[in-house]
Amino acid sequence: MSSRLLSYFFKGGEVVDQSGRRYEDVAVSDGMIVKQPTDDAIEIDISGCVMSAGLVDLSVNFGEPGFEDVECVDSGSRAAARGGFTAVLNSSDTFPVLDCPSMLAEAELLFAKSICEMRASATITVGGKGLSLAPLRELSTKGVRWFSDRGAIENKSLLRNAMEYSLSGSVISVRPRSGSLNVNGAMHEGKWSAILGLPGEPSVSETSEVAAIIDLAHVTGARVHLDRISAAESVQLLREAKRNGVEITSSVTIQHLMFTDSDCAAYDPMYRAEPPYRSDEDRKALILGVEDRTIDIVVSDHRPATAEAKELPFDKSAKGAAGIEATAALLMGSCGLELEVVLDALSWRPAKVAGFVNHGNLVRPGNVANLTVLNPKASWKFQASEQVSRGRNNPYFEKILTGRVIHTIYRGELVVTDSEVVV
């Protein structure tokens, strides 16, 4: 990041934030949104575009430490910025996992290289193994606000203890997967798994866990987050829980709003995911859940893999997609959602849930200039050669997308301009 910040004056665009929509020019100076542009401000025409608070992603995998050959903080944060994100939460899927204060200090040193705000997710249990609790209080004292294990915590007594020990401001994020009901599942259990002869993961492996976690959240009163749901019944369980006053949030990946188990028909490993892509009925229920705010957050679940890891047979290939650079475009242009719903799910609400206090705010003077400029109507082809991420597992290569991130401003610095990273 530059030591000297330039001043900018964004003219001709529409501002969309929690207060509504309005046509308004926006001046940025010394890292902040200001009332009037400075004399030396660089004018940038954003006619036909929308300016909003920067996007916030609560599920990324940037490799470090342990998997730098696939992605690193530098490449991952540059990909995030190109996707319009000014803040990200790095997954606990690292090696070693972050389960003690010394590991937190190392992570913070790594994150200093980022061109967006990065925070770490610590594991709930020691080593993420689900056997004994990590030092949650000590980690929380050091500033950790998000706790999540790599997989499901089968011991519900242990999970309840974690919820009861969780401190004010911290979130217990749980991946709702039942290991006993999901033995080597390669895709969703249904018509297509039977046709393809692949072992399936039934929806009940998720929904049974969702029901149990909702009950624990109700009993403990803890702030609980359901990480990356995929089934229609999960949406309905959450809808009922929220009506009953349970304090619980949830996320869904952009991929689960786009793909179904039928996309696996050609045994293409690009469509192997965790959780698996389910039926079209599930996909439609997930979109409706985002639309009516039952599902709070849409995440990229940016999970880079090498080309070799995705060229293995379907049931042995790496899971997931490296899609952070296309997430905003896909949610704007392919899901039939109003722009306010898109920005709520990608910016305002994730910032609030995870406590990113300088993100997701109103676009007004006095706030830190973490901003994104989007063109909801721009049509463009995602060229593989243009991708910033090191991950080669991107199902959107060579696809025509509608909606594009044009500029990203992080702490007042223009880090992406005309859809290209410039720092």
Domains of the chain by start residue, with CATH: 8-49+375-421 (2.30.40.10), 54-361 (3.20.20.140)
pLDDT of 66:
78
- Which of these, 120, 125, 136, 134, lies nearest to 58 by C-alpha position? 120
Residues 208, 209, 210, 214, CA torsion sign: positive
CA 98, distance to chain mean position in Å, is 19
Tokens standing for 239? 């809808």
Cα dihedral 398, 341, 81, 121, rounded to 10, equals -110
Distance separating alpha carbons of residues 347 and 359, to the nearest angstrom? 8
Q: What residues of the chain score a pLDDT lower than 50?
A: none
Angle at CA of residue 300, ends 296 and 306, nearest 5°: 155
Whether 53 and 17 have beta carbons less than 8 Å apart is answered as yes
pLDDT of 3:
53
What's this model's pTM, rounded to 2 decimal places? 0.96
pLDDT of 422:
96
Whether 289 and 252 have beta carbons less than 8 Å apart is answered as yes
pLDDT of 222:
94
> From edge to edge, which strands make up the β-sheet containing 248-253?
146-148, 171-174, 224-226, 248-253, 297-299
HSE value, Cβ hemisphere, 13 Å, CA-based, for 359: 31
Query: Could you give the residue ranges of the DSSP H alpha helices within 145-203?
Result: 156-165, 191-196
Question: Would you call 182 helix, strand, or coil by DSSP?
Answer: coil
Show Cβ contacts of residue 417 under 8 Å, excluding neighbours closer than 6 positions.
44, 406, 407
pLDDT of 216:
97
- 301 is a catalytic site residue: yes
Render pLDDT for 221-272 as a digit per residue (tens, 0 to 9). Answer: 999 999 999 999 999 999 999 999 999 999 999 999 999 999 999 999 999 9
Q: Which of 57, 296, 301, 344 is catalytic?
A: 301
Whether 35 and 27 have beta carbons less than 8 Å apart is answered as yes
